[in-house]
Amino acid sequence: SQQGEEDPQALSIQEGENATMNCSYKTSINNLQWYRQNSGRGLVHLILIRSNEREKHSGRLRVTLDTSKKSSSLLITASRAADTASYFCATQETSGSRLTFGEGTQLTVNP
Amino acid sequence: GAVVSQHPSRVICKSGTSVKIECRSLDFQATTMFWYRQFPKQSLMLMATSNEGSKATYEQGVEKDKFLINHASLTLSTLTVTSAHPEDSSFYICSASDTVGEKLFFGSGTQLSVL
């Protein structure tokens, strides 16, 4: 079963704007990860944030984690049309255990 | 980053036939691989965990005789959909974890269409 719930389910923005996606989960975790999936393709790992971290950056990506609220957000700054994809959060309860994926957010960046 | 190759990318078959999907880790040894199924506009559903040299562990509700998984080497896992039916039509994706067992590296997926 999927423990992650993401919102919004779909997001449409203009190029240059920021995109924020949220993920909530139910159990305690070791880490939370974000993946991107282009249509009809496999997933690509974007960023991993551990349970003892609150914020992490990678290029135009910023991830926050609030373990008290069991939620995370992914911010993509200065979006580009090429950022159009589905974004999934995934949680791992212990290091090496299975990943549980959220329902995903479909992001469309209009040129 | 680690590369996982999955073939074929697309297959169309007749109902009742079997289809084999291969998943290879190209530049690292994957002791554990995962097989997922994904329906359009939905999330990934874990089908089974494939461990090299041992039997796969299937998730509840996944028929092990229907979806045969073999992980004979540290770089290759295969999923065979036996006696495929139209309801088996879906996007199948394999993945392998890094040495720490945290990040997953995904194949490009296989779109199976059963007529």
For residues A37 and B99, what is the distance between their CA atoms, to the nearest angstrom? 23
Q: Which of B102, B106, B110, B112 to mutate to test the interface with A (most CBs of A within 10 A)?
A: B102
Dihedral Cα B8, B45, B106, A58, nearest 10 deg:
150
Number of Cβ atoms within 10 Å of the Cβ of A38: 13
Which of B10-14, B31-35, B99-103 is least confident?
Answer: B99-103
Nearest Cα of chain B lies from the Cα of A54 at a distance, in angstroms, of: 18
Helices then strands, counting H and E runs in chain B, come out as 0, 11
Interface check A44 vs B, CB under 8 A: yes
Express each pLDDT in A37-53 by its tens digit.
999 899 999 999 999 99
Which three-class secondary structure string do you get for B30-86?
CCEEEEEEECCCCCEEEEEEEECCCCCEECCCCCCCCEEEEEEECCEEEEEECCCCH
Q: Tell me which residue in A44, A95, A102 faces B43 most closely, judged by beta carbons.
A: A102
Which residues partner with A106 through β-bridges? A10, A86
Greatest CA span in chain B, whole angstroms?
41
Structural tokens at position B109: 């997926």
Interface check A95 vs B, CB under 8 A: yes
Structural tokens at position B12: 């169309």
Q: Which of A45, A97, A100, A105 to mutate to test the interface with B (most CBs of B within 10 A)?
A: A45
Interface check A59 vs B, CB under 8 A: no
Express each pLDDT in A60-103 by its tens digit.
999 999 999 999 999 999 999 999 999 999 999 987 788 899 99
Q: Does the beta-carbon distance from A48 to B103 stay under 8 Å? A: yes
For residues B69 and B55, what is the distance between their CA atoms, to the nearest angstrom? 8
For residues B100 and B89, what is the distance between their CA atoms, to the nearest angstrom? 33
> Is B100's pLDDT higher than 80?
no
Do you find a cis peptide bond into A8, omega within 30 degrees of 0? Answer: yes
> Is B99's pLDDT higher than 80?
no
**Three-class secondary structure of residue B95 per DSSP:** strand
Structural tokens at position A106: 């479909």
How confident is residue A32, by pLDDT bands cut at 50, 70 and 90?
very high
- Nearest CA to A21 among A10, A37, A32, A33? A10
Express each pLDDT in B62-81 by its tens digit.
999 999 999 888 889 999 99
- Beta strands per DSSP E along A8-70: 10-14, 19-24, 31-37, 43-50, 55-58, 61-66
